[in-house]
């Protein structure tokens, strides 16, 4: 578990939001290059390692995480030197204020910045109450005295602001608290998959890597699925845990059989394959109906239709500075993904695609 935590800490403390995924892309390139026949990128910056099968009739299987985490982009610098922002990904306004972030300039400089909040002293005239802010109204403050001073430090609209958070273990040593498990989980899953199956003979060409810009509309998956044209697509992504709210998704209860979300319905043959594989491999799993989407929602609509699913785990409080999740769930999901990849061949793929 110590090695797993060290790997989690390394990857979750990287800072890379939508459209600015270079630090994670560089990490993944370094991890997967020795394990694949070649590495390719798409036109938006998605990166994939390819293990080529010699048989031209072998199916192509795509396993895709996404590299981006939620963040912000500076939309305006005010005369007083503070910033206003637009969201890169979905944020609950209640978790944005009074947090530390890092500001990343176009020329590579990095500065500390905080999100402002209204002290209770200033609310007394409003009967002590505070209204829910719009993200666009939240003040971000790096301590600059003016717009001109911010500009002199290289800060301009279009620069990014990313959560600052240390990755730590909980007291029982079973769970992790960090930012960005959505979806550094998936990136680590891909790296670990390729490492663990490097000596396995597969029945397919495997295309494994990570997309860009998932958090802003599944954009990278449209591009990569079109480029690589797989027969099956497996997103690897993290979902919100509903356990403490009386809903589905409990940390520690294993990987997810994510059979529904608003943009994707798992096909019956894919569900049969997943459940059979999980049962025969002894995988701990739980059923999950999601309220948000993953890259499977984009991929399954490309190239005449690509049967897709998501191999996932759940985590509490995602899309915030402090997400809590179980390391055991990662191990169950990794074992599940390995079992899936090892079982797929021409006949199995044809069965999944048989209507």
Q: Which residue has the higher pLDDT, 74 or 56?
A: 74
Do 98 and 229 share a domain, yes or no? no
Instruction: For residue 310, give the nearest of 278, 337, 291, 272 by alpha carbon.
Output: 337
Q: Which domain holds residue 108?
A: 71-163
Do 16 and 94 share a domain, yes or no? no
Please report, for the domain that includes residue 88, its CATH number. Answer: 2.40.30.40
Do 235 and 126 share a domain, yes or no? no
The last residue of one of the domains, among 100, 128, 163, is 163
Query: Tokens 């079973």 correspond to what residue?
Result: 174
State the pLDDT at residue 345.
Answer: 97
For the full predicted model, state whether its pTM sits above 0.85.
yes
Does 173 map to a domain?
no
Instruction: For residue 43, give the nearest of 223, 204, 210, 277 by alpha carbon.
Output: 223
**DSSP 3-state of 10:** helix
State the pLDDT at residue 117.
Answer: 84
Distance from the Cα of residue 61 to its chain's centroid: 20
| Residues noted as catalytic | 214
Do 98 and 224 share a domain, yes or no? no
The last residue of one of the domains, among 163, 187, 222, is 163
Do 43 and 184 share a domain, yes or no? yes
Does 168 map to a domain?
no
Count of domains in the chain?
2
Does 20 map to a domain?
yes
Where does the pLDDT of residue 102 fall: very low under 50, low under 70, confident under 90, or very high at 90 and above? very high
Do 52 and 85 share a domain, yes or no? no
Please report, for the domain that includes residue 20, its CATH number. Answer: 3.40.630.10
State the pLDDT at residue 132.
Answer: 77
Question: What distance in Å separates the CA atoms of residue 54 and residue 252, rounded to the nearest whole number?
Answer: 40
State the pLDDT at residue 133.
Answer: 80
The last residue of one of the domains, among 163, 196, 226, is 163
DSSP letter string over 181-213? HHHHHHHHHHHHHHHHTTTPPPSSEEEEEEES-
Do 346 and 202 share a domain, yes or no? yes
Q: Are 19 and 106 in contact (CB under 8 A)?
A: no
Does 96 map to a domain?
yes
Given a cut of 90, is residue 120 above it in pLDDT? no
Does 170 map to a domain?
no
Do 58 and 139 share a domain, yes or no? no
Question: What distance in Å separates the CA atoms of residue 180 and residue 255, rounded to the nearest whole number?
Answer: 18
Do 228 and 317 share a domain, yes or no? yes
Note the pLDDT tens digit of each residue in 242-272. 999 999 999 999 999 999 999 999 999 999 9
Do 193 and 305 share a domain, yes or no? yes
Q: Could you tell me whether strands 160-163 and 168-169 are parallel, antiparallel, or unpaired per DSSP bridges? A: unpaired
Do 346 and 282 share a domain, yes or no? yes
Do 244 and 302 share a domain, yes or no? yes
């Amino acid at each position: 578990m110590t090695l797993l935590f060290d790997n989690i800490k390394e990857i979750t403390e990287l800072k890379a939001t939508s459209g600015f995924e270079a630090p994670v892309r560089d990490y993944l390139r370094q991890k997967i290059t020795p394990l694949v026949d070649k590495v390719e990128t798409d036109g938006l910056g998605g990166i994939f390692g390819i293990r080529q099968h010699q048989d031209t009739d072998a199916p192509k299987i795509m396993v895709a995480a996404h590299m981006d985490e939620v963040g912000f982009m500076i939309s305006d610098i005010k005369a007083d030197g503070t910033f206003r922002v637009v969201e890169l990904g979905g944020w609950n306004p209640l978790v944005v204020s009074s947090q530390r972030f890092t500001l990343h300039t176009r020329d590579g400089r990095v500065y500390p910045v905080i999100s402002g909040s209204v002290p209770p002293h200033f609310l007394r005239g409003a009967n002590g109450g505070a209204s829910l802010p719009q993200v666009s109204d939240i003040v971000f403050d790096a301590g600059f005295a003016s717009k001109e001073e911010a500009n002199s430090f290289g800060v301009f609209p279009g620069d990014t602001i990313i959560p600052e958070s240390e990755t730590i273990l909980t007291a029982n040593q079973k769970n992790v608290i960090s930012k960005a498990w959505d979806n550094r989980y998936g990136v680590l899953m891909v790296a670990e998959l390729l490492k663990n199956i490097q000596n396995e003979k597969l029945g397919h060409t495997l295309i494994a890597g990570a997309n860009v810009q998932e958090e802003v509309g599944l954009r990278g998956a449209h591009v990569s699925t079109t480029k690589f044209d797989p027969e099956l697509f497996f997103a690897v992504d993290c979902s919100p845990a509903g356990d403490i709210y009386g809903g589905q998704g409990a940390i520690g209860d294993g990987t997810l059989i994510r059979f529904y979300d608003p943009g994707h319905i798992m096909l019956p043959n894919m569900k049969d394959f997943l459940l059979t594989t999980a049962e025969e491999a002894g995988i701990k799993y739980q059923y999950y109906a999601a309220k948000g989407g993953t890259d499977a929602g984009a991929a399954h609509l490309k190239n005449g239709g690509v049967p897709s699913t998501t191999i996932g785990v759940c985590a509490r409080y995602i899309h915030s500075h402090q997400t809590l999740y179980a390391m055991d769930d990662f191990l169950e999901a990794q074992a599940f993904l390995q079992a899936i990849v090892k079982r797929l061949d021409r006949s199995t793929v044809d069965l999944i695609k048989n209507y």
